[in-house]
Structure 1
Amino acid sequence: MKEVNVRETLPEVGRGYVFIYSPFCGTCHLAREMLDIIEKMREEDVFYEMNASLFPDFMQEKQVSSVPCLLVWKDGKVEEKVYAFESVTKIFNLMKEKEKI
């Protein structure tokens, strides 16, 4: 995963996925493991990651209500927010749908 700098990185992302987490969140650690599996399957870094504690203004601006959260990012805007990391398959299928891969 690639670390996010909100002001510099995100505006450059055409289509992307931003994993928002807290280092003290157990569910976030499980969600990260799911995303790591997808990155291993695709053999590349797919996700950006953001520690929610470091960017409270961004969290409020984008109305992120809890962590873990996966922002589906397109052309400088949040297209979708995923809060339920139910399975690797569900997240992978969401990505397939968005990317038409």
Structure 2
Amino acid sequence: MKEADGQEIRRCHADGKASFALYFYTPLCGTCGIAEKMLTVIEAAVPTLPLYKCNINFAPELAREWEIESVPCLALIEEGKLTQKIYAMRSVPYLYGVLKRFMDTER
């Protein structure tokens, strides 16, 4: 997962054509660490997956704008629009199913 800051995310989001998944976390969150490991498994299986991570402590404006309620949070951006926020990471197969829509699109 590529680390992205708030400004970089805004640029991708403002593009209007970008589709990607953005994982919000904090370094001291134990649940975030587990969720990141699950996402890493998926990323290893699908290395072309457009998956980014963002320490929410460094993107407070974006968190307010997108109304991120807690971490971990997986935000799905499709064609430049925030379409879904997932807070319950459940399992690797669940996350794989959620992220499958990003696997066949061109970047």
Task: Name the TM-score, length of structure 1 as normaliser.
Answer: 0.88
Aligned mates of 2:5, 2:88 — CA distance in 1: 24
Unpaired segments ≥5 residues, structure 2: none
Alpha-carbon displacement from aligned partner over 1:7-41 (angstroms, at most 9, x marks no partner) = 23443361100000000100000000000000111
Cα drift, residue 78 of structure 1: 0.9
- Equivalent residues in 2 for 1:44-83 (5 A)? 44=48, 46-83=50-87
Alpha-carbon displacement from aligned partner over 1:29-66 (angstroms, at most 9, x marks no partner) = 00000000001111345310100111111111100000
Cα drift, residue 81 of structure 1: 0.2
1:8 aligns with: 8
* SS of equivalent residue, structure 2 residue 6: coil
> Are the aligned partners of 1:4 and 1:10 in contact in 2 as well (CA < 8 Å)?
no
Provide the aligned length of Structure 1 versus Structure 2.
100
1:3/1:22 Cα in 2 relative to 1: closer, same or farther (>3 Å)?
Answer: same
> Are the aligned partners of 1:38 and 1:92 in contact in 2 as well (CA < 8 Å)?
yes
2:24 maps to 1:20? yes
Task: Name the TM-score, length of structure 2 as normaliser.
Answer: 0.83
What RMSD, in angstroms, separates the aligned Cα atoms of the two structures?
A: 1.7
Aligned mates of 2:103, 2:40 — CA distance in 1: 21
Work out which of the residue numbers 52, 71, 91 in structure 2 matches 1:87: 91
* SS of equivalent residue, structure 2 residue 32: helix
Unpaired segments ≥5 residues, structure 1: none
